[in-house]
């Protein structure tokens, strides 16, 4: 490999490093080193040539775009470690900006967390405000409303004080299962950015 070939790779990696400033320097260094070996590995498939290196670098896309994928990947990895709803939603939001899988996980997480939090909060508020409940708004209607309603003359409360154990179990269970499902989706569909662009390293 000529010095010009090395320079081509170093220029690209330098620009990538600058875009990865948000990350701890150790993580950023690790990403850059891994990518360097990935580029060399791919470029050497047909013997190291200037054209080979240039085409591998071109396939990686702009350093800014690639950095965005690495930053998202870091969030996905972090969410798998800390497993909190906030980390899951934050990672899913960033992932949704990159792929359809991310969009679907984000929508599923929003539904799961809002549904779960509504029941959980209703159960917590119930001892302080007995009007809170699961209301059937009109007789013979399937329309249910969780919370308080001013349509009590026609409405009918379904759970009474059972809202507390049911709300805590259903709400907590939904929040936990949403987190588990999102993490499973992260594991199932997440691919390291360089693999996504270039195919897995040999």
Gap between the Cα atoms of 39 and 158, Å rounded: 62
Gap between the Cα atoms of 149 and 156, Å rounded: 10
Instruction: Rank residues 1 and 121 by Cβ distance to another protein and give the closer one.
Output: 121
Tell me how many residues contact another protein (CB under 8 A): 16
78: which residues sit within 8 A by CB, 6+ positions away? 87, 91
Instruction: Rank residues 32 and 148 by Cβ distance to another protein and give the closer one.
Output: 148
Beta pairing partners, 147: 133
Segment 108 to 127, residues that bind another protein, using CB under 8 A: 108, 110-111, 114-115
Instruction: Rank residues 50 and 187 by Cβ distance to another protein and give the closer one.
Output: 187
Instruction: Rank residues 48 and 114 by Cβ distance to another protein and give the closer one.
Output: 114
Segment 33 to 92, residues that bind another protein, using CB under 8 A: none
Segment 125 to 164, residues that bind another protein, using CB under 8 A: 142-143, 145
What's the angle, vertex CA 99, arms to CA 85 and CA 14, rounded to 5? 95
Q: How many helices (H) and strands (E) does the chain have?
A: 8, 3
Gap between the Cα atoms of 166 and 184, Å rounded: 26
What is the nearest approach in angstroms of another protein to the Cβ of residue 137?
9
Binding footprint of another protein on the chain (CB under 8 A): 96, 98-100, 102-104, 107-108, 110-111, 114-115, 142-143, 145
């Amino acid at each position: 490999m000529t010095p010009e070939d090395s320079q081509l790779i170093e220029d690209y990696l330098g620009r990538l490093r600058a875009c990865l400033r948000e990350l701890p320097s150790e993580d950023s260094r690790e990403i850059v080193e891994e990518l360097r070996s990935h580029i060399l590995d791919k470029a050497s498939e047909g013997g190291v040539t200037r054209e080979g290196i240039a085409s591998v670098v071109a396939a990686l896309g702009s350093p800014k775009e690639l950095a965005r994928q690495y930053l998202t990947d870091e969030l996905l990895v972090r969410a798998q470690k800390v497993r909190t709803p906030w980390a899951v939603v934050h990672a899913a939001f960033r992932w949704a900006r990159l792929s359809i899988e991310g969009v679907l996980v984000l929508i599923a997480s929003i539904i799961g967390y809002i549904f779960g939090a509504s029941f959980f909060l209703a159960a917590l508020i119930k001892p302080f405000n007995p009007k809170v409940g699961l209301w059937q708004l009109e007789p013979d209607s399937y329309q249910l409303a969780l919370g308080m309603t001013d349509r009590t003359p026609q409405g009918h409360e379904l759970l009474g004080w059972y809202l507390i154990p049911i709300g805590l179990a259903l709400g907590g269970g939904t929040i936990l299962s949403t987190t588990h499902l999102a993490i499973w989706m992260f594991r199932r569909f997440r691919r390291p950015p360089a693999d996504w662009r270039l195919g897995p390293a040999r």
